[in-house]
């Protein structure tokens, strides 16, 4: 039975015009719990917390500690593990939420686009992402490998992106990105270099 359930057991309840409810199973703080919260954008979380550690409560408290306008921005990917940054990036791109995308980057970050354009700094990345949104992107990232050395993380990420061309037709492009994340003074992680074309 445990093998069928996998590492995390829980329930997502989602109804029109109601908050998304995540009922967690009997679990420790685990990256798959973190991923489930990000993936399903949970508004309310119910825990089996009778013996919860202070670190678990701290993380859950800080999940919802920052707001961008009227949108709730999930901070878990920035706090727990750089490997979860691509998941948060998916969510921000697919929701066409520019503020969430920019919040995932350092202020002096660089982005190489899939069209081999180099964008450096917040203003340039804002412009590039805004142009991307015109093509109605849908992105799926899968982390293949990560190497962490101190406050720097190298992330090798397979990606698949659907876009709309000038005729209104959808097409798919794929690749393997070489990304660099940087840990901030507060312990959070942000993307510092994103290179979807990898070593090419």
Question: Mean pLDDT, to the nearest integer, of 79-88?
Answer: 79
Identify which has the larger pLDDT, 17 or 108: 108
189-194 vs 105-112, strand pairing mode: parallel
Question: Mean pLDDT, to the nearest integer, of 28-55?
Answer: 60
Cβ distance 160 to 172 under 8 Å? Answer: yes
Lowest model confidence (mean pLDDT) among 32-41, 48-57, 58-67, 169-178: 58-67
Cβ distance 77 to 88 under 8 Å? Answer: yes
Cβ distance 141 to 94 under 8 Å? Answer: no
Q: For the residues of 105-134, what is the DSSP string, one character each?
A: EEEEEEEE-TTS-EEESHHHHHHHHHHHHT
> Per-residue confidence at 19, pLDDT binned at 50, 70, 90?
confident
**Spatial CA neighbour of 29 closest among 52, 62, 2, 63:** 52
Mean pLDDT over all residues of the chain? 78
Identify which has the larger pLDDT, 88 or 40: 88
**pLDDT digit string, tens, across residues 173-192:** 999 999 999 998 878 889 99
Identify which has the larger pLDDT, 61 or 189: 189
Q: What does the DSSP 8-state code read for residue 52?
A: -
**pLDDT digit string, tens, across residues 65-80:** 333 333 444 444 445 6
Whether the predicted pLDDT of 61 surpasses 50: no
Structural domains in the chain, sorted by start = 2-65 (no CATH), 80-194 (3.10.450.50)
138-149 vs 44-46, strand pairing mode: unpaired
Give the pLDDT of residue 13.
83
Q: If 0-12 CB within 10 Å is exposed, 13-18 middle and 19+ buried, where does residue 85 land?
A: buried
**pLDDT digit string, tens, across residues 86-113:** 888 888 898 898 988 998 999 999 999 8
> Per-residue confidence at 48, pLDDT binned at 50, 70, 90?
low
């Amino acid at each position: 039975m445990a093998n069928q359930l996998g590492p995390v057991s829980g329930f997502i309840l989602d109804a029109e015009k109601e908050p998304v409810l995540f009922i967690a199973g009997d679990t420790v703080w685990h990256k798959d719990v973190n991923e489930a919260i990000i993936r399903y954008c949970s508004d309310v979380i119910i825990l089996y917390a009778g013996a919860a550690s202070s670190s678990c409560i701290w993380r859950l408290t800080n999940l919802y500690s920052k707001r961008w306008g009227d949108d709730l921005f999930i901070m878990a990917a920035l706090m727990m593990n750089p490997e979860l940054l691509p998941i948060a990036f998916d969510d921000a791109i697919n929701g066409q939420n520019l503020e969430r995308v920019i919040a995932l980057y350092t202020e002096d970050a660089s982005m190489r686009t899939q069209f081999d354009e180099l964008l450096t700094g917040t203003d340039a990345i804002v412009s590039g992402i805004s142009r991307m949104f015109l093509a109605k992107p849908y992105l799926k990232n899968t982390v293949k490998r990560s190497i962490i050395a101190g406050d720097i993380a190298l992330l090798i990420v397979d990606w698949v992106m659907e876009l709309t061309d000038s005729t209104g037709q959808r097409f798919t492009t794929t690749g393997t990105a070489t990304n660099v994340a940087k840990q901030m003074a507060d312990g959070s992680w942000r993307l510092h270099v994103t290179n979807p074309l990898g070593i090419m």
